[in-house]
Structure 1
């Protein structure tokens, strides 16, 4: 079968090649790959920023934003041939740490976890793949064209779960959400904010085009720019920061209403410095009982929550997030920089 593979830690090794067909192990599903989403993590992997191959191997299959259709199931499985599924990315560490031992592998404490397509496990960018039944999530058939968005949506679902847990420390009735960054994660965060009945504001550098349209169609307010000054005095109760831009991260820390919550969901590049008034930041957070926290990855329940959120959304709106579909035969084209919201590799062509 064909698969998109690379050698972690080595630039210029990304290639579509023939690899052996997967053989399901005990309790595993055999799945026909339908689509694979490409994100910033994948681009960092192929430029050798990080990545860990399976033990004893140099190359591995890329891809963690999966979508497939079940071909074969083991005896007694809760799945059936024909089911639309996605595979969870992370697996708990074998030690295990206290969090992994309790099923909270997305919060692994010792870093010994593994991840499909990223760390020591083959990914999902192949014509066929296998997945343990306990790490697969069934999707509503209506999501066939957009189910590849479940993985990024799961990251947002986890962020919302954490926001709501933090909010429950006291009376919590948020009205206004700000999302910084209108990429796939930011737009999905805005979608889930609207599903919660919040007034949604989205800040992004793009002044025109698809992003403002998508926000408007959600009933949100779009602010072109790169600073919270563009908000015109809006004080959100919740900020989900999806850019990783240092100045926006700093602005967000002091940009909420009292008892505000800031979720940092974007990754900042290292090596850049910013002049900040640390005392001002400290006073604002302390005197207003604010919370700033980071969130990454997702657990099985977050995938299920994400699938539910997408099933409730307008499929036409979700389809517009996917701005380019590339056949597997030309998968390397998916990594060329373009003005995309979301690029997807079609594993059937």
Structure 2
């Protein structure tokens, strides 16, 4: 079968070629790959050396945003041939730590987890892949190709779940949400915010490409420029850029008792003068919570599947702006200003 393999940190070593069929010990479910999503993590793996190879291997099958169809399943496994499925990315560590032993591998405490297509375990960038039934998510057939958005949506499902839990500390509930960044993660964050009935605003550095239209089609409001010029005071912020100076500017514009959830990371270095005493005073007096979140547990994938099933299919179509065949994967790592989500067609 064909697969996309890489050597982390060596862009010249991206290959699409023949590899052995997946071994049965990789999982009882045999899945024919349909689509593979590309995100910034994949770019970091190829260009920056993020991630790590499987033990004893010199190449990694890349890809963690998966979608496929079951072609072989055990009788008692809970899946059937023809099921549309996506794979969970992270696996618990072998110790395991307390969170991993409770299915909360997204809160692993010792860092010995593995991740499909990222850390010490082959990914889903192949024509066929195997997976353990406990780590496969069955999707509503009506979701179709939009199921390739499940993994990034699961990250936002977790972000919103944790945010909701923090708001449970008091009797009031948020009304206005700000999402910073209008890439795939930001747009999915906005979708889940709208589904919660919030007045959602999205801020990006420019309005190039389809993102402003996608925000408007959600019934949300699109902004560009400085966060202090938006004219809003959000109760909740989902920060999706990873731009350090922006993170601290958010503290100045949020309402009392607000929650700021950080989902983005940046490889850059942006020093900024910071009045730490003033920042500390404002966060204390306003009961502000700022927290980071990464990855997702099984329940977040299930929440994401529900969110995608409830979303407008035409709007989800707008997120997938480019489809490329496997052989064009190296070029697909370079997004254009019109791209939101680029996906690889693993068929044919």
Q: 2:71–2:82: 8 Å Cα contact kept in structure 1?
A: yes
1:297 counterpart SS class: coil
Matches within 5 A, 1:220-235: 220-225=220-225, 227-232=226-231, 234-235=232-233
The 1:27–1:61 alpha-carbon spacing in structure 2 relative to 1, beyond 3 Å, is: closer
> In the alignment, which residue of structure 1 is the partner of 2:177?
177
> In the alignment, which residue of structure 1 is the partner of 2:241?
243
> In the alignment, which residue of structure 2 is the partner of 1:135?
135
Residue 270 of structure 1 deviates from its aligned partner by 5.1
Q: Structure 1: which 5+ residue stretches go unaligned? A: none
Aligned residues, how many? 347
Matches within 5 A, 1:260-279: 260-269=258-267, 271-279=269-277
1:151 partnered with 2:151? yes
Residue 27 of structure 1 deviates from its aligned partner by 5.5
Q: 1:27–1:74: 8 Å Cα contact kept in structure 2?
A: no
Aligned equivalents of 2:215 and 2:255: distance in 1?
Answer: 22
Residue 335 of structure 1 deviates from its aligned partner by 1.0
Q: 1:34–1:347: 8 Å Cα contact kept in structure 2?
A: yes
Matches within 5 A, 1:73-222: 73-222=73-222
Residue 26 of structure 1 deviates from its aligned partner by 7.8
Residue 210 of structure 1 deviates from its aligned partner by 0.9
Q: 1:69–1:82: 8 Å Cα contact kept in structure 2?
A: yes
Aligned equivalents of 2:27 and 2:291: distance in 1?
Answer: 37
Q: 1:202–1:215: 8 Å Cα contact kept in structure 2?
A: yes
Q: Deviations over 1:308-345 (max 9, x none)?
A: 00000001100110110001122212112312111000
- Give the superposed CA RMSD: 1.2
- Which stretch of structure 1 is more off in the superposition, 242-251 or 256-265? 242-251
Residue 35 of structure 1 deviates from its aligned partner by 0.3
Aligned equivalents of 1:149 and 1:326: distance in 2?
Answer: 16
Q: 1:154–1:298: 8 Å Cα contact kept in structure 2?
A: yes
Matches within 5 A, 1:288-303: 288-303=286-301
Q: 1:241–1:252: 8 Å Cα contact kept in structure 2?
A: no
Q: 2:64–2:124: 8 Å Cα contact kept in structure 1?
A: yes
Aligned equivalents of 1:72 and 1:247: distance in 2?
Answer: 50
1:346 partnered with 2:322? no
1:144 counterpart SS class: helix
Q: 1:258–1:288: 8 Å Cα contact kept in structure 2?
A: yes
Residue 262 of structure 1 deviates from its aligned partner by 0.2
1:254 counterpart SS class: helix
Residue 134 of structure 1 deviates from its aligned partner by 0.1
Q: 2:26–2:131: 8 Å Cα contact kept in structure 1?
A: no
The 1:9–1:211 alpha-carbon spacing in structure 2 relative to 1, beyond 3 Å, is: closer
Aligned equivalents of 2:118 and 2:215: distance in 1?
Answer: 31
> In the alignment, which residue of structure 1 is the partner of 2:15?
15
- Which stretch of structure 1 is more off in the superposition, 131-140 or 202-211? 202-211
Q: Deviations over 1:81-123 (max 9, x none)?
A: 0000000000000111111112110010111000000000000
Aligned equivalents of 2:83 and 2:118: distance in 1?
Answer: 25
Q: Deviations over 1:54-97 (max 9, x none)?
A: 11011010000000000000130111000000000000001111
Q: 1:30–1:131: 8 Å Cα contact kept in structure 2?
A: yes
Q: Structure 2: which 5+ residue stretches go unaligned? A: none
Aligned equivalents of 2:255 and 2:195: distance in 1?
Answer: 21
Aligned equivalents of 1:115 and 1:26: distance in 2?
Answer: 13
- Which stretch of structure 1 is more off in the superposition, 22-31 or 156-165? 22-31
The 1:137–1:253 alpha-carbon spacing in structure 2 relative to 1, beyond 3 Å, is: same
2:223 counterpart SS class: strand
Residue 238 of structure 1 deviates from its aligned partner by 0.3
Q: Deviations over 1:210-241 (max 9, x none)?
A: 1110011111010012x212312x11010000
Q: 1:182–1:202: 8 Å Cα contact kept in structure 2?
A: yes
Once superposed, which parts of structure 1, at least 4 consecutive aligned residues long, lie more than 4 Å away?
Answer: none
> In the alignment, which residue of structure 2 is the partner of 1:59?
59
1:187 counterpart SS class: helix
Taking structure 2 as the reference length, the TM-score comes to: 0.97
Q: Deviations over 1:247-266 (max 9, x none)?
A: 21111233211100000000
